């Protein structure tokens, strides 16, 4: 699940990625019929990979968005197979670019 790094710091790699776009591979079931959302749907699950804005994480899963215009999605740890966030040097560059655009108000993408 959430792996700690650093000796005794209690800081996780996920904490470094909150507020950044990450790649997530997760298990997904068949899509509901939008015309009949109460109807049960059967089908094989499949692994999917997409980019998400990582908003938060906790013992039950992660909170993410596909874009800033849609509501937050909760994804349980049982569905998450892999998360890859930006390395420190990329986060530093992102923070510099965001700071330039916002006049230094925030270092994270929101």
- Report residue 107's pLDDT band, with 50, 70 and 90 as the boundaries: very low
Can you give the pLDDT at residue 110?
Answer: 46
Residue 84 pLDDT greater than 70, yes or no: yes
Confidence label for 87 from pLDDT (cuts 50, 70 and 90): very high
Q: Is the pLDDT of residue 7 over 80?
A: no
Q: Does pLDDT of 108 surpass 70?
A: no
Supply the DSSP string of the chain, one letter for each residue.
-PPB-SSS---BHHHHHTTSEEEEEEEE-PPPPTTSTTS------EEEEEEEEEEEE-SSEEEEESSTTS--EEEETTTEEEEE---HHHHHHHHHHHHHHHTSS-SS--
- Indicate the CATH number of 13-31+42-102 among 1.10.10, 3.40.109, 3.10.50, 2.30.30: 2.30.30
Is-above-0.95 flag for pTM?
Answer: no
Judged on CB neighbours under 10 Å (0-12, 13-18, 19+), 89 is exposed
């Amino acid at each position: 699940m959430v792996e700690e790094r650093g000796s005794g710091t209690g800081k996780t790699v996920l904490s470094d990625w909150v507020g950044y776009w990450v790649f997530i591979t997760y298990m997904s079931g068949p899509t509901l019929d939008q015309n009949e959302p109460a109807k049960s749907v059967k089908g094989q699950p499949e692994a999917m990979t997409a980019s998400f804005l990582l908003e938060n994480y906790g013992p039950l899963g992660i909170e993410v968005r596909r874009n800033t215009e849609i509501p937050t999605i909760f994804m349980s740890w049982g569905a998450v197979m892999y998360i890859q966030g930006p390395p420190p040097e990329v986060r530093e560059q992102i923070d510099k670019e965001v700071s330039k655009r916002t006049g230094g108000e925030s270092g994270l993408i929101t």
